[in-house]
Amino acid sequence: MTANDPSSQSLQLTGNGQLKHFLTLDGLDRALLTEILDTADSFIEVGERTIKKVPLLRGKTVVNLFFESSTRTRSTFELAAKRLSADVLNLDISTSATSKGESLSDTLLNLEAMASDMFVVRHSQSGAPHFIAESVTPGVAIINAGDGRHAHPTQAMLDMLTIRQHKGAFEGLKVAIVGDILHSRVARSQIRALNALGAEEVRVIAPGTLLPADVESLGCKVEYDMVRGMQDLDVVIMLRLQKERMEGALLPSEREFYRLYGLSQDKLALARPGCLVMHPGPINRGVEIESAVADGPQSVILNQVTNGIAVRMAVMSMAMSGQVSERTQVAGEQG
């Protein structure tokens, strides 16, 4: 699926425009993204309560279906589901039937037979959550927790919530995403979100070997030089070098990468005063970012982690509400 692909909209949205799956930011408009942010804002205070629960998904079963490991993402989805009062099943794929030869379709059918209401899917293959969304029984919501190099929509939205909390609005903002753009599903989703929400300019800063060939078609400007790229920035988002996905010699060395593209205090000083420093994690200190910057006053990295729970609560509650709404509408039409 590509940006603004009608099939993306029809798969993710109900007939009246409510969210029923959350697979990609492609095709989702500013109004819906703003609704996600506003809903997430309303959930922030839940984490500050003595009893950190609301009953929105009480009686629902959420399955974390992670074919690719990610402690941070899975943990925040699990916390989000539990704060919504759902029952949560974490499926360990390494010991599941799929590792013994069972097909993905059969695994899904068995999970559906257990009356599951939502699958949170992380997969190394781009498009896997879309395949699952097209295959599951109507009424089961699919949330993409990261697929291949394609998309990581909840990470992008928690980043947007963090930016909005600190900057107030997106209009007039210049934002740069720095590092391994080539292998980053997060970067693709961030670019989509920033453009949809009205950022003035989105830049990517990276060596040519870490840029996809079509990167400008995503809606961003390319800068190969970090010193030039840091000028006039309001937000800088650093990315992890995804060495596990790299094939061949894309970099001379980590030391050379840090010298040219690592975020140091000197480079940060080139941006506008108050420029936010962000990183989706996990951080490789001394490779992408200097510790003094990661832990400094302009860093909002820990805010991103906190906001991840609220954004995932928002997306899960909205998708489940959309599924219920669509079932009610279909039942009414059949009646």
**DSSP H or E stretch at residue 304:** helix 301-334
Which residues, other chains included, contact 173 with Cβ-Cβ below 8 Å and sequence gap of 6+? 163, 167, 194, 199, 200, 201, 234, 235
The two tokens of residue 247 are 């094939």
**Whole-number pLDDT of residue 332:** 61
153-301: CATH architecture:
3-Layer(aba) Sandwich (3.40)
* Other residues' Cβ atoms within 10 Å of the Cβ of residue 234: 22
| 74 annotated binding-site participant | no
| 282 annotated binding-site participant | yes
| 240 annotated binding-site participant | yes
Domain with CATH 3.40.50.1370 in the chain: 6-151+306-334, 153-301
What's the whole-number mean pLDDT along residues 239-258?
A: 68
| 122 annotated binding-site participant | yes
> Which CATH number, 3.60.150.10, 3.20.20.80, 3.40.50.1370, 3.30.2350.10, labels domain 6-151+306-334?
3.40.50.1370
pLDDT category at 326 given cuts 50, 70, 90 is confident
Q: Is the pLDDT of residue 2 over 50?
A: no
3-state secondary structure of 267: helix
Average pLDDT, rounded, for the chain:
90
| 49 annotated binding-site participant | no
- Kindly report, residue by residue over 274-323, the tens digit of the pLDDT: 999 999 988 999 999 999 999 999 999 999 999 999 999 999 999 999 99
| 164 annotated binding-site participant | no
The Cα 29–Cα 80 span in angstroms is 24
Q: What is the pTM of this model?
A: 0.91
Q: Percent of the chain scored above 90 by pLDDT?
A: 72
- Kindly report, residue by residue over 119-143, the tens digit of the pLDDT: 999 998 899 999 999 989 889 999 9
The two tokens of residue 208 are 């040519």
Top pLDDT among 264 and 111 is at 264
- Kindly report, residue by residue over 57-90, the tens digit of the pLDDT: 999 999 999 988 788 899 999 999 999 999 999 9
| 281 annotated binding-site participant | yes
